[in-house]
Structure 1
Amino acid sequence: MPVDLNQVLVIGIFFITIGMLIFTDKRPSTVFAAAVLALILFGQISFFEVAHNLTNQGLLTLILLLLVSNAVDKTSLIKRLGRKLISPSFKTSYWRLFGLTFSASALLNNTAVVASLIGPISQNQHHPASRLLIPLSYSAILGGTVTLIGTSTNLIVDSFMIEQGHPGFQFWDFTLYGLIAGLSCGLLMFLLTPLLPAIETRKGQFHRYFIEAKVMEDSELIGKSVEDNHLRNLHELFLVEIVRDGRLLTPVTPDMIIMQNDKLIFSGNVQNVDSLGHIKGLKLFAETDGLLRDNLTEVIISNRAPIIGKTLKTLGFRALFDAAVVAIRRDGEELSGKLGEIKLQSGDFLLLATGQDFVQRHNLVKNFFILSELRIATKLNKKQEWITVGGFALTIVLAALSLIDLATGLVFFMAALVVSGVTTNGEVKRNVPLNLVIVIVGALSLATALQTSGVIGEMTQLLKPILSDVSPFIALLVVYLLTLMLTELVTNNAAAALMFPFALGLVQMLEVPLMPFALAVAFAASASFMSPYGYQTNLLVYNAANYQFKHFVKFGWLISLTYSSIVLMLLKYNYDF
């Protein structure tokens, strides 16, 4: 049989792509971009075929969903619940964590859910965070498999199916498998938690700013203790003092009762100040001036500044600079007392929420060196919260009932978010998941080359004598196990993208339905329970604690086995293999 040079080139590029994903530290987007360029260079695909893949419906749906998830993540919903997760009882804490993470990840981007909850768990005073962080990640992975939109992996496989002329997944196609496997593994994780190490959480590297917030008359904190208000579960923010009627209360004890008009003094990472904004009735010092926004300016007081030795209150700082002080940092000294009554010194760092006239003030140069801009999450008002949460719920319900196409619903919801000010055009541009788009377009292009060059057809012919007498379930099992192995070595999205073309080839050869094989690829690509590198949420918790690779293997292998066995048995039963 003569060697087809085109097929050799495509196969070579395919295996080089896998090799680079496994054995190098290059980003998947870089690897897939290089693969696309190589395919175009050697004439295996055209630029117009690559451009066509950019308009794939599944890909566009995924982009819209991720953009919407960024807006939903601004709401107080997950953050408020997250503060109340941890209790003195480990059993209660675990099931609260599992229930919230599993259910939220079924509808929201599971990476965003984990990112929101890492803080409260790492900061809790009752249990080692390392006993809860891996279960947090695995709960998110399991929850993401319950619906079409729970994880980007499902939508990637959906985009491949649509590209092949298949209608794609329905919203609930994953639910039976995801619920049974997820709840079973949730129970197993609880039983296996003694296997997790009790290690000290790595402390974040950040400058400690001094932050003041006032308890307003409508605050949910009033009449409850520091412990009951979960003020010790804030990510990288620590309640160090309370100022009450001019008196300084320190140290702050867990049983101390919060009262109206208390000034709560926090020390910590100012970029997490949005977690204070989500506590009802707690108003930041700068917020009273109506200036708090998503962009903050960091300045340092110069050595000859006229404001040295004066307090913010006596200066009339807002009128003087058209700026309000969000936080103060003084290297080498712990600050104490009310923010407005601290005497400013040369070298003090101020974090300012600035007005439109700030940059025009002529007195800036005499007082400050401007260092940088910091970005914090913008707090939504009640109307915006209702629009965001209600609009997202309505969009999902309409899509789940097949009353409207999911992509269409997300387009209109995205427009409503922009019009209502929940998000801005600038935020939309910044939040476009460019790396993920490159991975998916690259994988779609690679799949196109594998088919048009005849590689899939040749593979089918070679395997036909071997698999002609094999049951479809054995073929499905092979696809599942290969995808599972690949997802632990590379990433979930890359594994799904690389394995789908070969699953499709087996389907065509065996003349069986595509759906069970597509589900097998999607579920296996999400089953990253034995490596910190195979799934984004694993990497988040791996970096948040002093975990080692062995901790994931020791805790995860039985969960992986249980999850895979349940999914495969249900696929075999439902499709009568």
Structure 2
Amino acid sequence: MTVAGWFVLSIIIFCLITLITTSVSVDIVLFSGLAIIFVSGILPADQALSGFSNEGMLTVGALYIVAAGLKETGAIQFMVQRVMGNARTVKKAQLRVMGPVMVMSAFLNNTPIVASFIPAMERWSRISQIPVSKILIPLSYAAILGGTTTLIGTSTNLIINGLMIQEASTQTLGIFEPAYIGIPCAIAGFLYLLVFGDKLLPERGSSMDTFQDPREYTIEMIIPKSSPLAEQTIEDAGLRNLPGLFLIEIQRNGRAIPAVGPYEHLKEDDRLIFTGIVDSIIDLQQISGLVPATNQVFKLNAPRNERTMIEAVVSRSNPLIGQTIKEGNFRYRYDAVVLAVSRNGERIDEKIGDITLKSGDVLLLEALPNFVDKYRNSSDYFLVSPIEDSSPITYNKAWIAALAVVVMVGLAASGILSMLQAAIVAGGLLLVTKSFRYSSALESVDWRVLIAIASALGLGSALEYTGAAEHLATNLFAFAGDNPTLALFLTYLATWLLTEMITNNAAAVLIFPIALSLAQSLGVSFMPFAMVMIIAASSSFSTPIGYQTNLMVYGPGGYKFTDFLKIGLPLNLIIAAVAVSLIPYIWNF
């Protein structure tokens, strides 16, 4: 290996050690490593910056926008509500999320699945009080394992199949041929995560961490006509034991039902009185089948998905002090609607319109984002503060988001467009139909993840460009001798190690010719080697940098680098044992 190769390898090892031993974010570490290699002059600019123009990285960016559309329209929340149900334990939650995700990722690209589920799972975690760190790694791993079960489940499978088609001495794969080994591996991984996931995964990002604000609001919600919550019990509707939120009473046909039990059935036109902190109020607004009791919300000019929630503290000079919200024509005066009022911790029994405003009242408003700029320095309020990620969901355009995803998957799966092109079409459809705001689309992109992916790809290019990757793989295969089973294991090991260090697709492309020549020199069939590469190239469980879905859950889950090593390394060994032991019996040497 050349001096340049040793230098690149030492930088990558230094990056890995830094990620393991410090809390520096993965994007800073990987970008710094790439910058050192580039500045040293070892890697030309086109190779160093290749990750920033990589189609896979750009696809992830486009998919963040599609995922934002699913979130803003409520389509993904609706799906998650149906999938997760009333799961109240970590094992039940993991069981409910992993099964459907595995099935979906067998036929759909796993990146949009994970991108769509992440924000919905974060919100579900807050409501269920199950730490999101217990869910997101299983979500990523389930998508990875599901992708190995069909030819179209992941791009790596298609790349290996394409390389096989180019080789006259090998045969093409059937669409379900990877399932013979992919399904056993997926089952083994599923059982491992279900049994050990709760113990090995950290407890971080707990929903209760956010519920420290002592300020409580009283808010009324209505069960409208044809609501899916009608005739459900309080518990089945998910309205019991909401963190930071308490259902005080139900008003029905002019009578109050206090101390509402979990098995009380909801009826159309029920008025539900809640008290709770602002984060819980926001989550309440996202539940399908509940609408604010004040009809003023529906009289504002702008669509609800273009509005946001704002907290405003009434000042002594506010002209509406001493008047009720209704008498003061609050909506006309401020182009905003009061959803709830907080007053020194006391419960306010009046309906929103009948509340008499006092100095110091904290109002929870629904308004356009420009309300903040307009009244931030106004004498009417002591303080005006926007609430992050609080745009109400109307669900009336959820079908457009679902259609956009179907169109995207159809165009990509049929080969009419690439995944990047299909994602751009889907995102464009959502923006043109005004399913969500353009500003929300820009804010939805996790730029740190994209920098980390691009930097990881650049480091992978450095390994290939200097010949370090090929040198490592070739020397590893030298241990195989004349034993095809040992050669098969070493093929898995080399592919897996390179996947963790560079990317799954690059690892498959690099190992393919070496494994092919090894099989030919041993005089055995190449099919077992091809199948073991399919499994190994997708077995990126021990680090967050080898597979893009791992990087996507890294930040939202509050994970450390060692969390992936702790739960992922045993999973890697299990999958390796299943693959290497079964493949020679399914595809004979």
Task: Give me the TM-score of the superposition, normalised by structure 2.
Answer: 0.75
- The alignment's C-alpha RMSD in Å is 4.8
d(CA) in 1 for partners of 2:340 and 2:416?
49
Match of residue 479 from structure 1: 494
The structural deviation recorded for 1:281 is: 5.6
Does the C-alpha gap of structure 1 residues 326 and 156 become closer, same or farther in structure 2, counting only changes over 3 Å? farther
Amino acid at match of 1:12: S
Match of residue 319 from structure 1: 332
Does the C-alpha gap of structure 1 residues 477 and 105 become closer, same or farther in structure 2, counting only changes over 3 Å? closer
Q: Could you say what secondary structure the match of 2:220 adopts?
A: strand
Match of residue 338 from structure 1: 351
Amino acid at match of 1:288: F
d(CA) in 1 for partners of 2:292 and 2:63?
32
Amino acid at match of 1:80: F
The structural deviation recorded for 1:413 is: 1.6
Match of residue 566 from structure 1: 578
Does the C-alpha gap of structure 1 residues 269 and 89 become closer, same or farther in structure 2, counting only changes over 3 Å? closer
Correspondence 1:459-538 to 2 at 5 A: 459=472, 462-463=475-476, 465-469=478-482, 471=484, 472-479=487-494, 482=497, 495=500, 497=502, 506-510=511-515, 511=517, 516=531, 518-526=533-541, 537=553
Does the C-alpha gap of structure 1 residues 171 and 405 become closer, same or farther in structure 2, counting only changes over 3 Å? farther
Does the C-alpha gap of structure 1 residues 171 and 419 become closer, same or farther in structure 2, counting only changes over 3 Å? farther
Q: Could you say what secondary structure the match of 1:14 adopts?
A: helix
d(CA) in 2 for partners of 1:448 and 1:161?
22
- Contact between 2:93 and 2:135, CA under 8 Å: does it hold in 1? no
Matched, 1:408 2:421: yes
Amino acid at match of 2:146: V
- Contact between 2:314 and 2:362, CA under 8 Å: does it hold in 1? yes
d(CA) in 2 for partners of 1:361 and 1:10?
53
- Contact between 2:80 and 2:121, CA under 8 Å: does it hold in 1? yes
Match of residue 113 from structure 1: 117
Match of residue 185 from structure 2: 181
Amino acid at match of 1:390: L
Q: Which moved more, 1:333-342 or 1:165-174?
A: 165-174
Q: Deviations over 1:308-361 (max 9, x none)?
A: 343322322111222111333334334444333333332222122235985797
d(CA) in 2 for partners of 1:453 and 1:194?
42
Does the C-alpha gap of structure 1 residues 346 and 566 become closer, same or farther in structure 2, counting only changes over 3 Å? farther
Correspondence 1:171-250 to 2 at 5 A: 177-186=181-190, 203-206=208-211, 207=213, 208-232=216-240, 237-245=245-253, 247-250=255-258
Match of residue 41 from structure 2: 43
d(CA) in 1 for partners of 2:14 and 2:97?
41
Match of residue 267 from structure 2: 259
Count, aligned residues:
549
Amino acid at match of 1:279: S
Amino acid at match of 2:19: L
Q: Deviations over 1:166-204 (max 9, x none)?
A: 99999978766554433454456666799799x997623
Amino acid at match of 1:221: L
The structural deviation recorded for 1:30 is: 0.7
The counterpart of 2:366, out of the listed 353, 358, 364, is 353
- Contact between 1:214 and 1:263, CA under 8 Å: does it hold in 2? yes
- Contact between 2:118 and 2:553, CA under 8 Å: does it hold in 1? yes
Q: Could you say what secondary structure the match of 1:299 adopts?
A: strand
Q: Which moved more, 1:93-102 or 1:381-390?
A: 93-102
Match of residue 490 from structure 1: none
- Contact between 2:312 and 2:362, CA under 8 Å: does it hold in 1? yes
Identity over aligned pairs, percent: 20
Match of residue 308 from structure 2: 295
d(CA) in 1 for partners of 2:383 and 2:142?
46
Matched, 1:279 2:277: no
Q: Could you say what secondary structure the match of 2:273 adopts?
A: strand
The structural deviation recorded for 1:34 is: 0.8
Q: Could you say what secondary structure the match of 1:58 adopts?
A: helix
d(CA) in 1 for partners of 2:254 and 2:366?
26
Does the C-alpha gap of structure 1 residues 110 and 373 become closer, same or farther in structure 2, counting only changes over 3 Å? same
The structural deviation recorded for 1:386 is: 1.6
d(CA) in 2 for partners of 1:154 and 1:539?
23
Does the C-alpha gap of structure 1 residues 343 and 403 become closer, same or farther in structure 2, counting only changes over 3 Å? same
d(CA) in 2 for partners of 1:335 and 1:171?
62
d(CA) in 2 for partners of 1:559 and 1:447?
24
d(CA) in 2 for partners of 1:17 and 1:162?
33
Q: Which moved more, 1:310-319 or 1:73-82?
A: 73-82
d(CA) in 1 for partners of 2:510 and 2:271?
66
Q: Could you say what secondary structure the match of 1:73 adopts?
A: helix
The structural deviation recorded for 1:135 is: 6.5
- Contact between 1:68 and 1:410, CA under 8 Å: does it hold in 2? yes
Q: Could you say what secondary structure the match of 2:339 adopts?
A: strand
The structural deviation recorded for 1:300 is: 0.8
d(CA) in 1 for partners of 2:478 and 2:229?
71
Q: Unaligned regions of 5+ residues in structure 1, if any?
A: 484-493, 544-548
d(CA) in 1 for partners of 2:558 and 2:335?
43
d(CA) in 1 for partners of 2:73 and 2:38?
44
Q: Which moved more, 1:69-78 or 1:533-542?
A: 533-542
Does the C-alpha gap of structure 1 residues 262 and 58 become closer, same or farther in structure 2, counting only changes over 3 Å? same
Q: Could you say what secondary structure the match of 1:21 adopts?
A: helix
Q: Which moved more, 1:326-335 or 1:85-94?
A: 85-94
d(CA) in 2 for partners of 1:135 and 1:447?
29
Q: Could you say what secondary structure the match of 1:307 adopts?
A: coil
Match of residue 55 from structure 2: 57
Amino acid at match of 2:405: F
Q: Which moved more, 1:319-328 or 1:414-423?
A: 319-328
The structural deviation recorded for 1:89 is: 10
d(CA) in 2 for partners of 1:355 and 1:154?
41
Q: Could you say what secondary structure the match of 1:371 adopts?
A: strand
Does the C-alpha gap of structure 1 residues 558 and 576 become closer, same or farther in structure 2, counting only changes over 3 Å? same
Q: Deviations over 1:97-147 (max 9, x none)?
A: 5544544566443264254245546645xxx958x9846752552134323
Q: Which moved more, 1:12-21 or 1:316-325?
A: 12-21
- Contact between 1:145 and 1:175, CA under 8 Å: does it hold in 2? no
d(CA) in 1 for partners of 2:435 and 2:253?
37
The structural deviation recorded for 1:47 is: 2.3
d(CA) in 1 for partners of 2:18 and 2:358?
53
